[in-house]
């Protein structure tokens, strides 16, 4: 093993890591190496404290008064602005609410409405499935609309642009391969073809710097329970560029999106800005946990985060290819760091069993059908030494054939 | 004051109250009389315990494994069946998910799709506003559809039924007046006219027995943070009668509603039953608090609940009309208990200020624009003596004119 991959060298990198202090902000079980923060981020201490306070004090003691006194009603836009900093959005363009799926529907509806003469929606066959499912639901509900998927006939999204394409729904980082799209160039090409873009940031928000405003993105959505560590199923976010807000319409026009929600008027009038993308009452306890989690993010330098993320993923690839060679693992993630998110995937015919064996050995990654081992690298709480231990554990499982034991073969649902 | 309204008599009723033991299941601040459980239910101890466990153990310690090990993924349907018992729905017809507003949109979409040749949606001008707002959003998104509102030209819903009406969206208990609709008779009349009904149960679920299956209701929605005490903004529920499930389609077709969500297939195929009304990932921490709250409800006899509810609202009306006469309060709630929910509203030109003064004196009700004082009566944690104290406090505020003090005049948002 080269010096650069030695444990001593890696410990030296950890000692000089500018982000090492963030590890103390998280609760992580003793002995676990958690490479699944791209599926469910672990619990920030501040999130657990916020949750406890929201339940025992705000709800139980202050009751209905907390809608005002604890700022519950303002949480979607307050947290939206805080997420905004992480995705390159100036204030007033992001709301935290509902689920990613629901927000995709809102964004599709609004974007299509802004391009009324263009009835084709483009999406990616290889995107996280819910994006396609929602796009299918949207076009089925709108007479004359159709959905075309990139990746089914060899054509690229850019090849598929044309005068009938009004909206393009894309994943910034692919959930399976970890490939990072060129947000600036692709957005520009879509605009040049007269269409609008919706970027799904589920696997990039909190993983790397994103410049939505600078790239003149139209719409974006994403979740807050992966890299942002907001808690299981924490509400998602939606970004609507300020220039589109006045004209944008979406049919989930619930009372929280009304210009005067507490006037209890008989007819809907959308709020003048991003608030018109709110719909109904939000799950406050989940939002309060997320608010706690964002206290950590308020202190994070995203360039330092990206630098360490790439160090960790480079290291993982190099170690696996050195220490686990000849075991049939094939890299599915781009080797070029410029087009890599913050995860590394390998395919293997027995990916499921190997992942289960790793979990038993306290190295938690996940399996993605049909044959992918997926590992997320989250610089706030992972060290270079953690990566080293994870790979040594993987090596041991492969060398000993531990994964062949029958207990690893039973399939369960995993998200 | 008649003997039936004397404090001694009321204390006797409390001593014999079969529901009195439930008070110990709730955290309520010392000295507060909480008449706002129809807006935000107070915290059941079991809900706070569940929340604590979900955060500190399930999330922080078990991490991603809790999707299976703690049954997170099953919560929407598990809790749906438990809510189902409270609304007269056999298992497999209720899902807990998203917000009431979102679920109204799903139900409208599905119901309209089942009556494709009828393009008129009926709703009530006096319904909780989000119902109308969502119906407006729905019809605006569907070419050829229109919305007609009862209460704008004197016609009743039943008068407005006709060959073009496909869907009727109604409130079971009016949020403002507390009037209870005749669910059985109105459902029958709507069916006889060839239309489908969607009942909004926000102000009746957990307030009185409801027989959705027995009345052959088509769709229903409701929230879980009022009488059900699920926590601020806890996810809502949606009921779809089993006979409609196979044919029902709704466009919010996210991955949780897929027949095989973890197969990550490229195309959407709706789950065979109620699960197709799920959309995206749900806010688990909020759902876990609700699960705790439902542990209380699993033990409640709904007939006993209804009997005490009517005793409390009868008592409140009688006491206010006896003790606060000549202060300009006008009853807005039906005097006939057969058409009354579990709340009592009075109008008064200075309703806002009086409610604020009551809150300062620890009697928490709420104000509804423009001139309504609204009080919810929740038999699980309120006693007859509580009602007596509340009215004596109201009397004192009116007699002394306390409410005229300037600090009560500033308007805040209240939900």
List Cα–Cα distances, B227 to A256, B102, B222, B305, in angstroms: 21, 20, 11, 11
On whether B352 is known to bind a ligand per the annotation, the reply is: no
pLDDT surpassing 90 at residue A153: no
On whether B342 is known to bind a ligand per the annotation, the reply is: no
pLDDT in tens, A222-245: 999 999 999 999 999 999 999 999
Please give the Cα distance from B334 to B344 (Å, whole number).
8
Q: Which token pair is A176?
A: 């399976």
State the average pLDDT over residues B363-367. Answer: 96
Please give the Cα distance from A391 to A396 (Å, whole number).
9
Give the residue from A153, A279, A412 with the most B CB atoms within 10 Å of its CB, the best one to mutate: A279
On whether A255 is known to bind a ligand per the annotation, the reply is: yes
Q: Contact, B73 vs B198, CB < 8 A? A: no
Q: Contact, A348 vs A371, CB < 8 A? A: yes
Q: Contact, B18 vs B306, CB < 8 A? A: no
On whether A239 is known to bind a ligand per the annotation, the reply is: no
pLDDT surpassing 60 at residue B363: yes
Chain B residue numbers touching A32 (CB-CB < 8 A): 63
Please give the Cα distance from B157 to B190 (Å, whole number).
9
| Residues A285, B65: C-beta atoms closer than 8 Å | no
What are the respective helix, strand and coil percentages of chain B, to the nearest 5? 45, 15, 40
Chain A residue numbers touching B258 (CB-CB < 8 A): 129, 133
State the average pLDDT over residues B129-135. Answer: 98
| Residues A254, B285: C-beta atoms closer than 8 Å | no
Would you give the end-to-end CA distance of chain A in angstroms?
A: 35
Give the residue from A66, A133, A139 with the most B CB atoms within 10 Å of its CB, the best one to mutate: A133
CA dihedral sign, ordered B63, B69, B72, B73: positive
Smallest CA–CA distance, residue B18 to chain A, in Å, is 25
State chain B's mean pLDDT as an integer: 96
Per DSSP, A56 falls in state I
pLDDT in tens, B387-409: 999 999 999 999 999 999 999 98
Please give the Cα distance from A334 to A6 (Å, whole number).
24
In terms of CA atoms, which chain A residue is nearest residue B33?
A63
Q: Which token pair is B156?
A: 């009743």
Q: Contact, B348 vs B329, CB < 8 A? A: yes
In terms of CA atoms, which chain B residue is nearest residue A64?
B40
Catalytic residue among B145, B346, B374, B377: B374
A26 Cβ contact partners less than 8 Å away, ≥ 6 residues apart = A42, A43, A44, A45, A229, A380, A381
pLDDT in tens, A172-194: 999 999 999 999 999 999 999 99
Which among A258, A359, A415 has the least Cβ separation from residue B133? A258
Nearest to B300 by CA among B87, B39, B49: B87
Per DSSP, B107 falls in state H
Q: Is B291 helix (H, G, I), strand (E, B) or coil?
A: helix
Exposure b/e, A261-283, CB count within 10 A at least 16 = b: bbebbbebebbebbbbbbbbbbb
List Cα–Cα distances, B114 to A201, B109, B200, B249, B291, in angstroms: 36, 9, 19, 8, 33
Displacement of CA B66 from its chain's centroid (Å): 30
| Residues B284, A233: C-beta atoms closer than 8 Å | yes
Please give the backbone phi and psi of residue A94, each rounded to the nearest 5 degrees, phi first.
-130, 135
Q: How many CB pairs under 8 A join A and B?
A: 306
Q: Contact, B353 vs B202, CB < 8 A? A: no
Per DSSP, B24 falls in state G
Smallest CA–CA distance, residue A34 to chain B, in Å, is 9
- Tally Cβ neighbours within 10 Å of residue A295: 16
Q: Contact, B284 vs A232, CB < 8 A? A: yes
Q: Which token pair is B245?
A: 């499930």
List Cα–Cα distances, A262 to A64, A199, A372, B374, in angstroms: 15, 33, 49, 15
Q: Residue B3: pLDDT band by 50, 70, 90 thresholds?
A: confident
pLDDT in tens, B315-325: 999 999 999 99
In terms of CA atoms, which chain A residue is nearest residue B140?
A251
State the average pLDDT over residues A282-306. Answer: 98
pLDDT in tens, B15-31: 999 999 999 999 999 99
On whether B266 is known to bind a ligand per the annotation, the reply is: no
On whether B100 is known to bind a ligand per the annotation, the reply is: yes
| Residues A133, B60: C-beta atoms closer than 8 Å | no
Which among B27, B134, B415 has the least Cβ separation from residue A67? B415
| Residues A55, B72: C-beta atoms closer than 8 Å | no
- Predicted interface score ipTM higher than 0.95: yes
| Residues A51, B51: C-beta atoms closer than 8 Å | yes
Q: Contact, B334 vs B179, CB < 8 A? A: yes
CA dihedral sign, ordered B136, B138, B144, B149: negative
Catalytic residues of A: 128, 200, 225-226, 374
Please give the Cα distance from A144 to B322 (Å, whole number).
64
pLDDT surpassing 90 at residue A95: yes
Smallest CA–CA distance, residue A147 to chain B, in Å, is 11
Give the residue from B233, B352, B360, B374 with the most A CB atoms within 10 Å of its CB, the best one to mutate: B233
pLDDT surpassing 70 at residue A1: no
State the average pLDDT over residues B98-117. Answer: 98
Q: Residue A407: pLDDT band by 50, 70, 90 thresholds?
A: very high
In terms of CA atoms, which chain A residue is nearest residue B250?
A137
- Determine the pLDDT at residue B413: 45
Which among A43, A60, A263 has the least Cβ separation from residue B59? A43
Chain A residue numbers touching B39 (CB-CB < 8 A): 64
How many residues in chain A?
415
Alpha helices of B234-338 — where are they, by DSSP H? 242-245, 284-297, 302-323
Please give the Cα distance from A394 to A355 (Å, whole number).
9
Q: Residue B415: pLDDT band by 50, 70, 90 thresholds?
A: very low
Alpha helices of B54-193 — where are they, by DSSP H? 66-69, 75-86, 100-114, 129-140, 157-160, 183-192
Q: If you write DSSP's letter for every residue of A220-268 in order, what string do you get? A: EEE-SSSTT---TT---EEEE-HHHHTT---S---GGGBSSGGG--SS-
Smallest CA–CA distance, residue B210 to chain A, in Å, is 24
On whether B281 is known to bind a ligand per the annotation, the reply is: yes
On whether A400 is known to bind a ligand per the annotation, the reply is: no
- Determine the pLDDT at residue B157: 92
Q: Residue A413: pLDDT band by 50, 70, 90 thresholds?
A: very low
B70 Cβ contact partners less than 8 Å away, ≥ 6 residues apart = B54, B58, B62
pLDDT in tens, B342-355: 999 999 999 999 99
Which among B72, B129, B231 has the least Cβ separation from residue A264? B129
Q: Is B166 helix (H, G, I), strand (E, B) or coil?
A: strand
Exposure b/e, B334-353, CB count within 10 A at least 16 = b: beeeeebbbbbbbbbebbbb
In terms of CA atoms, which chain B residue is nearest residue A144?
B143
- Tally Cβ neighbours within 10 Å of residue A71: 13
Catalytic residue among B22, B128, B316, B381: B128
Please give the Cα distance from B207 to B184 (Å, whole number).
17
Would you give the end-to-end CA distance of chain B in angstroms?
A: 35
Give the residue from A229, A266, A371 with the most B CB atoms within 10 Å of its CB, the best one to mutate: A266
Nearest to A103 by CA among A80, A134, A127, A78: A134
Please give the Cα distance from A389 to A392 (Å, whole number).
5
Torsion of Cα atoms, B374 then B378 then B383 then B386, to 10°: -20
Task: Name beta bridge partners: A199.
Answer: A170, A220
| Residues A48, B68: C-beta atoms closer than 8 Å | no
| Residues B40, A64: C-beta atoms closer than 8 Å | yes
Smallest CA–CA distance, residue A25 to chain B, in Å, is 12
In terms of CA atoms, which chain B residue is nearest residue A367?
B262
Q: Which token pair is B95?
A: 């899902």
Q: Which token pair is A373?
A: 């081992």
- Determine the pLDDT at residue B151: 81
Share of chain A above pLDDT 90, in %: 95
- Determine the pLDDT at residue B1: 58
Which among A67, A149, A412 has the least Cβ separation from residue B68? A412
Q: Residue B155: pLDDT band by 50, 70, 90 thresholds?
A: confident
Smallest CA–CA distance, residue B179 to chain A, in Å, is 18
B57 Cβ contact partners less than 8 Å away, ≥ 6 residues apart = none
Which among B252, B364, B414 has the least Cβ separation from residue A67? B414
On whether A262 is known to bind a ligand per the annotation, the reply is: no
pLDDT surpassing 60 at residue B414: no
On whether A101 is known to bind a ligand per the annotation, the reply is: yes
| Residues A254, B133: C-beta atoms closer than 8 Å | yes
| H or E element that contains A331 | strand A330-331
| Residues B133, A61: C-beta atoms closer than 8 Å | no
Nearest to B129 by CA among B168, B101, B167: B101
- Determine the pLDDT at residue A172: 98
What are the respective helix, strand and coil percentages of chain A, to the nearest 5? 45, 15, 40
Smallest CA–CA distance, residue B267 to chain A, in Å, is 6
Torsion of Cα atoms, A252 then A257 then A260 then A265, to 10°: 10
Please give the Cα distance from A121 to A123 (Å, whole number).
7
State chain A's mean pLDDT as an integer: 96
| Residues A254, B130: C-beta atoms closer than 8 Å | yes
Question: Does the annotation mark B225 as catalytic?
Answer: yes
How many residues in chain B?
415
State the average pLDDT over residues B137-165. Answer: 92
Q: Note every long-range contact of B13-17, with CB atoms under 8 Å and residues 24 or more positions apart, other chains counting.
A: B13/B311, B13/B384, B14/B383, B14/B384, B14/B385, B17/B308, B17/B383, B17/B384
In whole angstroms, how large is the CA radius of gyration of chain A?
22
List Cα–Cα distances, B306 to A400, B336, B388, in angstroms: 65, 14, 19
pLDDT in tens, B215-256: 999 999 999 999 999 999 999 999 999 999 999 999 999 999
Tell me the domains of chain A and their CATH numbers. Answer: 3-30+301-408 (3.90.1150.10), 49-297 (3.40.640.10)
A28: left (phi over 0), alpha (psi -120 to 50) or beta: beta
Q: Contact, A291 vs A70, CB < 8 A? A: no
Residue written as token pair 């990198």: A13
Nearest to B270 by CA among B257, B252, B255, B251: B257
Give the residue from A40, A277, A280, A358 with the most B CB atoms within 10 Å of its CB, the best one to mutate: A280
């Amino acid at each position: 093993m080269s010096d650069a991959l030695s444990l001593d060298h890696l410990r030296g990198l950890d000692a000089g890591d500018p982000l090492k202090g963030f590890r103390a902000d998280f609760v992580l079980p003793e002995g676990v190496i958690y490479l699944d923060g791209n599926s469910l981020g672990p619990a920030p201490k501040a999130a657990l404290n916020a949750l406890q306070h929201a339940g025992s004090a705000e709800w139980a003691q202050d009751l209905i008064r907390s809608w005002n006194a604890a700022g519950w009603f303002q949480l979607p836009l307050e947290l939206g602005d805080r997420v905004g900093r992480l995705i390159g959005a100036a204030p007033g363009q992001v709301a935290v609410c509902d689920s990613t799926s629901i927000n995709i529907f809102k964004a599709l509806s609004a974007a299509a409405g802004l391009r009324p003469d263009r009835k084709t929606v483009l999406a990616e066959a290889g995107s996280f499935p819910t994006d396609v499912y929602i796009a299918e639901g949207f076009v089925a509900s709108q007479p004359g609309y159709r959905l075309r998927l990139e990746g089914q006939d060899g054509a690229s999204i850019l090849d598929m642009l044309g005068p009938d394409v009004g909206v393009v729904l894309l994943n910034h980082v692919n959930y399976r391969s970890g490939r990072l799209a060129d947000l600036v160039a692709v957005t520009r090409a879509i605009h040049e073809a007269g269409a609008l873009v919706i970027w799904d940031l589920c696997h990039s928000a909190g993983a790397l710097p994103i410049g939505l405003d600078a790239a003149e993105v139209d719409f974006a959505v994403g979740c807050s329970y992966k890299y942002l560590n907001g808690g299981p199923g924490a509400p998602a976010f939606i970004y609507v560029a300020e220039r589109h807000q006045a004209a944008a319409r979406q049919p989930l026009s619930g009372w929280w999106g009304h210009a005067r929600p507490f006037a209890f008027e008989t007819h809907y009038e959308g709020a003048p800005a991003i608030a018109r993308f709110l719909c109904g009452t939000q799950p406050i306890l989940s939002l309060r946990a997320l608010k706690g989690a964002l206290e950590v993010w308020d202190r994070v330098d995203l360039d330092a985060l990206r630098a360490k993320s790439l160090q960790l993923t480079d290291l993982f690839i190099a170690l696996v290819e050195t220490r686990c060679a000849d075991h049939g693992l094939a890299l599915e993630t781009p080797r070029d760091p410029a087009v890599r998110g913050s995860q590394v995937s390998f395919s293997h015919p027995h990916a499921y069993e190997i992942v289960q064996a790793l979990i038993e050995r306290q190295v938690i990654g996940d399996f993605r059908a049909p044959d992918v081992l997926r590992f997320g690298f989250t610089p706030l709480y992972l060290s270079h030494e953690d990566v080293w231990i994870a790979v040594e554990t993987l090596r041991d499982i492969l060398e000993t054939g531990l994964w062949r034991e029958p207990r690893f073969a039973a399939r369960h649902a995993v998200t």
